[in-house]
């Protein structure tokens, strides 16, 4: 396996690990289980959902980068712009769905950590 493939795999695995670390630290420190509004009720943000969602985002980012590297003349630049735009848009979610300020802050931090790991790790060198 070449260095680029190792970096990509570590990045895609590292994003969920970073999000879970934030969750694991924030729950005892904030003294709350992050809870979001879903439909007509609320739902706790569990570690399994943090893992699955952040892994899917990492895989989607990797897929986009692969397509860009094949068809775009400046894949690194396009990837970075798209990834940062998606990160900024993702931050709107916690503002609308978080139940309480502690949850909103935890969710924002998880979004930022995943986004930063993916942007820095997947951007072509």
Which pLDDT score, from 0 to 100, does residue 83 have? 96
Band of pLDDT at residue 41, cut at 50, 70 and 90: very high
Give the model confidence (pLDDT) of 74-95 as tens digits.
Answer: 999 999 999 999 999 999 999 9
- Exposure b/e, 76-91, CB count within 10 A at least 16 = b: eebbbeebeebbeebe
What does the alpha-carbon distance between residue 2 and residue 77 come to, in Å, rounded to a whole number?
A: 22
Inter-residue contact 75 to 69 (CB < 8 Å): yes
Q: What local confidence, expressed as pLDDT, does residue 119 receive? A: 95
Nearest partner of 61 among 116, 2, 1, 3, judged by Cα: 116
Q: Does the pTM exceed 0.85?
A: yes
Give domain limits for the chain. 3-122
Q: What's the DSSP call for residue 42?
A: E
Q: Kindly state the average pLDDT of the residues 9-16.
A: 96
């Amino acid at each position: 396996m070449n260095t680029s493939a190792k970096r990509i795999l570590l990045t895609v695995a590292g994003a969920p690990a970073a999000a879970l670390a934030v969750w694991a630290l924030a729950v005892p420190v904030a003294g709350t289980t992050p809870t979001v509004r879903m439909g007509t009720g609320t739902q706790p943000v569990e570690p399994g959902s943090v893992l699955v969602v952040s892994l899917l985002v990492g895989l989607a980012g990797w897929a986009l980068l692969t397509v860009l590297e094949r068809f775009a003349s400046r894949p690194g630049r396009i990837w970075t712009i798209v990834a940062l735009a998606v990160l900024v848009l993702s931050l709107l979610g916690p503002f609308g769905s978080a139940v309480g300020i502690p949850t909103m802050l935890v969710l924002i931090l998880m979004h930022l950590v995943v986004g930063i790991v993916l942007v820095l790790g997947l951007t072509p060198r």
